[in-house]
Amino acid sequence: LQKQVQQAQKMESLGLLVSGLAHDFNNLLAGMMGYAQQGMKHASDQPELADSFRHIFTRAEQGARMTRQLLTFARGSRLEPIRIQLNDLIAQTLGFLSTLLGPTIKIEFVPDPDIADVYADPTQLEQMLMNLCINARDAMPHGGTLMIQTHSFQLQQGKQDARFTTQPGPYVQITITDTGEGMSPETLSRLFEPFFTTKGVGQGTGLGLAVVYGIIQQHHGFIEVTSQPGEGTCFALCLPVAEQIAREDMMLGEIEVPEKA
Ligand code: ADP
């Protein structure tokens, strides 16, 4: 227990440090983006210069995205759960996700029309899908297929492992399967660790999956990952159905679950 408390204190001071830094960086980057945009405007008759400004803008934007992830992670942001039909939420983000994946990756969505609603924070679910799709994209540098499916299932027995404590009951599952390079067993065992990344310097923060883990935990769900090196990876995100949450009067994160609709 003492070790756990020490670990929690360490994480708390790390969180404070990180969110302070991330906040300052965000301001710096926002300033850079503004100046780069002005530069682009003034250099409209000098294509090379305009191009350099555009590069500055996109790099700063990339940095801002990373610091946003850091902030979400460090703050453990608060949930605003509402009743959600996951098929609709996914369908609404498909356009954005396919832009993110680029033209060489085919995206397939196979919804199960009978899935129940869940209580969830839509912004956080979108962030989660985005993080998983960015990883899938990075694992498929030569293109491939990303398959998103939904299912219902009944978890017969709750379980507790190092990562998740789960209650038995009805769940909805989103699986995200890529045909990418897969992971080694070592990566598979460490992938939710904050700051764990196999990507090069400036490429990965190692926070994408730590954020996904935090989001799923706050929603009382769990994640199962399977991966075959050279063949691909499947993330199964499981969330308890809304009825289940309401019946057991569960709390989502810090915020009370709204009354059943
Ligand atoms: P980052 O993407 O910044 O490296 P993440 O926490 O999102 O951080 O991922 C941690 C590591 O997990 C990645 O560096 C990568 O090695 C591995 N990983 C995550 N998703 C996949 C995937 N779909 N296929 C292969 N490896 C993956």
Q: pLDDT of 1-19, one tens digit each?
A: 666 666 666 666 776 777 7
Q: How many alpha carbons lie under 13 Å from residue 43 in its C-beta half-sphere?
A: 15
Ligand 1: residues whose CB is within 6 Å? 131, 135-136, 139, 178, 180-183, 187, 191, 196-199, 204-210, 233
User: Is 237:149 a contact under the CB 8 Å cutoff?
Assistant: no
Residue 159's pLDDT is 80
User: Is 232:182 a contact under the CB 8 Å cutoff?
Assistant: yes
Please tell me the distance between residue 4's alpha carbon and the centre of ligand 1 in angstroms.
26
Is 113 buried (19+), middle (13-18) or exposed (0-12) by CB count in 10 A?
exposed
As a whole number of angstroms, the distance between CA 183 and CA 191 comes to 9
**Mean pLDDT of the 188-202 span:** 87
Statement: the pTM of the whole predicted model exceeds 0.80 = no
Is this complex scored with an ipTM above 0.95? Answer: yes
Please tell me the distance between residue 191's alpha carbon and the centre of ligand 1 in angstroms.
7
Using a pLDDT cut of 70, give the percent of the chain over it: 86
From 186, 191, 201, the mutation candidate for ligand 1 (largest count of ligand atoms within 8 A of CB) is 191
Please tell me the distance between residue 244's alpha carbon and the centre of ligand 1 in angstroms.
32
Residue located via tokens 């356009």? 95
Q: Cα 175 to chain center, whole Å?
A: 13
The minimum-distance atom of ligand 1 relative to the CA of 209 is 6
Residue-wise pLDDT for 84-124, tens only, equals 999 999 999 998 888 888 889 999 999 999 999 999 988 88
The minimum-distance atom of ligand 1 relative to the CA of 182 is 25
User: Is 73:210 a contact under the CB 8 Å cutoff?
Assistant: yes
User: Is 169:244 a contact under the CB 8 Å cutoff?
Assistant: yes
179 token code pair? 């045909």
Residue 228, helix vs strand vs coil: strand
Q: Where are the beta strands (DSSP E) in 85-136?
A: 105-110, 118-120
Taking CA atoms only, the protein residue closest to ligand 1 atom 4 is: 197
- Name the residue with higher pLDDT: 79 or 192: 192
Query: Residue 59 pairs with which residues in a beta bridge?
Result: none
User: Is 157:194 a contact under the CB 8 Å cutoff?
Assistant: no
As a whole number of angstroms, the distance between CA 24 and CA 18 comes to 10
